[in-house]
């Protein structure tokens, strides 16, 4: 039962990390305003 409750978290965690790294790589070359906007999101 414990492994079943862990699987959703282990599945979502990498997605969140990849999303943050993707947003960071996208917003870094853009102006500071866009970078701050991405930081808030």
pLDDT tens for each residue of 1-41 = 455 555 555 667 777 778 777 777 766 655 666 556 666 55
Residue 34: predicted pLDDT: 58
Q: How many domains does the chain have?
A: 1
Q: How many beta carbons lie within 10 A of that of residue 18, not counting itself? A: 10
Domain of residue 25: give its range: 2-40
Which pTM does this prediction carry?
A: 0.33
CA 40 to chain CA centroid, Å, is 12
Residue 19: predicted pLDDT: 78
Instruction: Write the CB contacts of 37 (distance below 8 Å, at least 6 apart in sequence).
Output: 27
């Amino acid at each position: 039962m414990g492994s079943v409750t862990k699987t959703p978290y282990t599945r979502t965690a990498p997605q969140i990390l990849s999303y943050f790294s993707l947003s960071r790589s996208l917003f870094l070359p853009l102006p500071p305003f866009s970078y701050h906007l991405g930081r808030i999101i």
